[in-house]
Amino acid sequence: MDYRVLITDAALDDLKGIVSFIAKDDPHAAVRVGERLIDHALSLGEMPARCPFHDAVRGIRKMTATPFQIYYSHNEEAGVVHILHFWHAARLFPEF
């Protein structure tokens, strides 16, 4: 079963910040990083339970796309993955 992958506004804001920061030094690298993060996020539509929990109580999982983390949740019944945050691993955890 393939899941629909929905990217939240907060995650889009994170992604814009990441790409803008990198673009200051290298616009081409910024595009590549942004595309790589989107590709990783979309890949969760195939097997969203493959990544470990970041917060099992709230059902938040974490996918690593070094040096970034992609935080997400999924609903099996609805067949949806929600991308919550794109986050640099060196930063403190995002607010959920």
Looking at the domain assignment, is residue 60 inside a domain? yes
DSSP assignment of 16-42 equals HHHHHHHHTT-HHHHHHHHHHHHHHHH
Sorted by sequence, the CB contacts under 8 Å of residue 22 that are 6+ apart come out as 29, 30, 33
- In-domain check, residue 95: no
pLDDT in tens, 21-70: 999 999 999 999 999 999 999 999 999 999 999 999 999 999 999 999 99
pLDDT tens string 60-74: 999 999 999 999 999
CATH number at residue 38: 3.30.2310.20
Q: How many domains is the chain partitioned into structurally?
A: 1
- Give the distance from CA 17 to its chain's centroid: 13
Judge whether 96 lies within some domain.
no
Q: Which of 18, 23, 24 is nearest to 69 (CA)?
A: 18
Is position 93 within any domain? no
Domain that holds residue 77: 4-88
pTM to 2 decimal places: 0.92
The answer to whether position 22 is within a domain reads yes
* Dihedrals phi, psi of 89, to nearest 5 degrees: -65, -20
